Amino acid sequence: MSILVLADHHDGQLAGTTAHVVAAAQEIAKAGGGDIDVLVAGEGVSAIAEAAAKLNGVSRVRVADNAVYAHQLAEPLGALLVELADDYSHVLSSASTTGKNVMPRLAALKDVSQLSDVIAVEGIDTFCRPIYAGNAIATVKSDDALKVMTVRSTAFDAVAADGSAGIESVDKVVDNTQSSFLKEELAQSDRPELGAAKVVISGGRGMGNGENFKLLDGIADKLGAAIGASRAAVDAGYAHNDMQVGQTGKIVAPDLYIAVGISGAIQHLAGMKDSKVIVAINQDEEAPIFQVADYGLVGDLFEVLPELESKL
Amino acid sequence: MKVLVAVKRVIDYNVKIRVKPDHSDVDLTNVKMAMNPFCEIAVEEAVRLKEKGVASEVVAVTVGPKAAQEQLRTAMALGADRAIHVQTDDKVESLAVAKLLKGVIDEEQPGLVILGKQAIDTDNNQTGQMLAALAGMPQGTFASEVDVQGEKVAVTREIDGGLQTVELSLPAIVTTDLRLNDPRYAKLPDIMKAKKKPLDVKTPEDYGVATGSKVSLIKVEAPAERKGGVKVGSVDELVDKLKNEAKVIS
C-alpha cells in the first residue's frame, strides 16, 4: 500500500515543511511501505504541484484544484482526504496548523487513531512522539489499518528537489456548506520562516515592551535569522501570536537559537531545546534558560543587544 | 442556546514529570493535578457567552476517573450550570473521547461546543477536530476570538503566519488557543455553590462506546538531557565562541 503526504502551501508556494514530511514518508517506505504520493489541494495550485513533483522519492502528485479547497478549510479538505484514503496505508501531513486542523477529521471519519507530532519512524507501524511538553518520548505502535499522522518537520531532514514525479488531477470535488473563509491577517516579513530558519533570535518578557523587540531586528538582519517570542511576550502583546515558540506554539530546531530576556519555562524549552547551539542572554543568572544554554551571558539586554549587533 | 464545554484533568502545568524506571509510562504518583489550561479558557469563554446573554446554559463534561469530578466542580465554580461525568478508569484516547462527547451532544443538543485545543499531557491536539467530524459539525480550531451572530459564529484562528477568520454554521465546534481570554479565578462563595450544582455520572457503556484503542504504548523514555554549557563574560567572548568554537556564525 502507498503513502500519501498532504502538501503544505501558502501564498502560492509549496511550504518548506513538505520536503521534511516526504523524508519521514521515505523512512516508512524503507521500512516496507509503498510508493509516496503527494496531495496538493487548493485553488490555483498548479505551480505548487510542479514544485512538489520535484521532491525526491515522490512517485506521483495528485492535484485537487478547486475553489472549495481554497484556504484549505478543514471540512472540505477532510472530506477529500476521506475520499482518497482507501488507496493508502499511511497518510501524513506536517504538524502545521493546517495539518493539525484536518488530520484528526480524516482519522475520526475512518475510525482510526491519529498520531501527532511524530519525531521518529521505528518501523512501518511504530513511531516516536513527544508527550508532556517533550519531557518524555513515547514509542507507540499502531495496529490500525490506516495510519494517520502529523510529522514534526524539524525532526526530519528535507529531501532534495531533484525528482520528477508525474502530476495527475483529482476529479472528485466535495461540497462545503458549513464553513466559509472570511479573512486572513498574515504577518508580512522578509525574514525566513520561523520553523525552517537556520538561526532564530527570540525575545521574552524581559524585552519590556513591543517597541524594544526592534532591538532584535539588526541582529536578525546580520544573521539571516527569524524572530521568535516566548508565550509571556506574546501574551503581553509585545509580539504576534505566530511568533510564539513553545509547547503549544512553533517548534524550532535551528543551528543557533538566541534567547533574549527569556526565563526558560518548560513550555518554552519544549519548543527550542532541540536547537544545535543555544545562547541565553538574561540578567537573572538563576534563570532556568541557562541550564540548557551552551553559552550564557548574564547582563542587561539593553546594553548587550546593541553591542552584539555592532560586533557581528 | 446551550453551550457544552469539555474539560480534562491533567498534570498541573508547573510540574516537571518523571519517566517510570521501567519505561512503561510517566510517573504520576502523588503529582498535583489540575484542569488543563486550554480547558480553563474554554470554560471562561462559555461563561462569558452566558454573561453576554448569548448562551442560556453552560454544561461542563469530562471523561475520566472519579477524581476528575474535582475539575467539573471547578468548572461549575467558574460558572457552568451543571456537569456530566463520563466515569472510567481506562486510559481513553482522543478518538474514544470524541465518540463519547458525540454521545453527549446527541443527548444535550448544544448550539456550540467549546474544547481546549490540546491537553498538556498527551499534547495530541485532536479531540475537537475528531468530534467535529463525527458530529458532522464545522470546526473553528485554535480560536483567539469567537463571535456568535444568530445562526452563525465567526471564529478567528491562530494559524502559522498570522490569523484566519472563518464563519461556521451552528451548531459548531470551537477549540481554544491561548489568546482567547484570561480565565477568572473561582471565588470562595462560588466554590461552595458549585458543590450543590447537579453532576450526572455516566459510563462509556451508556453511550455504547468502547474505550479501547489500536495504538499501544511500547515504552516511554526521557529525552536526551541537554547539558548546560558555559557562562561567557562579555559580548566579545560570546561572538568569539560562536565563530570559533560552535562555528555557527561566520
Residue-level pLDDT at B95: 98
Whole-angstrom distance, CA of residue B82 vs CA of residue B102:
18
Q: How confident is the model at residue A215 (pLDDT cuts 50, 70, 90)?
A: very high
CA angle A238, A240, A243 (to 5 degrees): 105
B95 touches chain A (CB under 8 A): yes
* pLDDT per position as a tens digit, A245-298: 998 889 999 999 999 999 999 999 999 999 999 999 999 999 999 999 999 999
Whole-angstrom distance, CA of residue A68 vs CA of residue B103:
30
Judged by CB atoms within 8 Å, which residues 123-142 of A form the interface with B? Answer: 126, 130-142
Look at residue B250 and tell me whether its pLDDT is greater than 90: no
Query: CA end-to-end span of chain B, whole Å?
Result: 61
For chain B, what are the domain ranges? 2-225
Look at residue B201 and tell me whether its pLDDT is greater than 90: yes
DSSP A71: G
One of 3.40.50.620, 3.40.190.10, 3.40.50.2020, 3.40.1190.10 is the CATH number of B2-225, namely 3.40.50.620
Chain B residue at shortest CA distance from A270: B223
* pLDDT per position as a tens digit, B68-101: 999 999 999 999 999 999 999 999 999 999 999 9
Query: Residues A217-237: what's their mean pLDDT?
Result: 95
Query: Residues B231-235: what's their mean pLDDT?
Result: 95
> What is the residue-averaged pLDDT of chain B?
96
The number of helices, as runs of H, and strands, as runs of E, in chain B is 6, 15
Residue-level pLDDT at A113: 98
| Chain A residues in contact with B173 (beta carbon < 8 A) | none
Query: A145 — alpha (psi -120 to 50), left (phi > 0) or beta?
Result: alpha
* pLDDT per position as a tens digit, A137-172: 999 999 999 999 999 999 999 999 999 999 999 988
Residue-level pLDDT at A95: 97
| Chain A residues in contact with B231 (beta carbon < 8 A) | 285, 290, 295-298
Determine, for residues A248 and B162 on separate chains, whether the beta-carbon distance falls below 8 Å.
Answer: no
A238 touches chain B (CB under 8 A): no
> What is the Cα B121 distance to its own chain's centre?
10
Q: How confident is the model at residue A190 (pLDDT cuts 50, 70, 90)?
A: confident
> What is the residue-averaged pLDDT of chain A?
96
* pLDDT per position as a tens digit, A25-79: 999 999 999 999 999 999 999 999 999 999 999 999 999 999 999 999 999 999 9
Instruction: Choose among A35, A69, A74, A37: nearest CA to A52.
Output: A37
Determine the residue type at A179.
S
Q: How confident is the model at residue A196 (pLDDT cuts 50, 70, 90)?
A: confident
Look at residue A97 and tell me whether its pLDDT is greater than 90: yes
Query: Residues B140-164: what's their mean pLDDT?
Result: 96
Look at residue A186 and tell me whether its pLDDT is greater than 90: no
CA distances to B131, B215, B221 from B20, in Å: 32, 20, 8
Determine, for residues B138 and A235 on separate chains, whether the beta-carbon distance falls below 8 Å.
Answer: no
Task: Please indicate, yes or no, whether the overall pTM of this predicted structure exceeds 0.90.
Answer: yes
Query: B161 — alpha (psi -120 to 50), left (phi > 0) or beta?
Result: left
Query: Residues A125-146: what's their mean pLDDT?
Result: 96
Look at residue A188 and tell me whether its pLDDT is greater than 90: no
Residue-level pLDDT at B182: 95
B248 touches chain A (CB under 8 A): yes
Instruction: Choose among B129, B218, B238: nearest Cβ to A104.
Output: B129
ipTM, interface predicted TM-score of the complex:
0.95
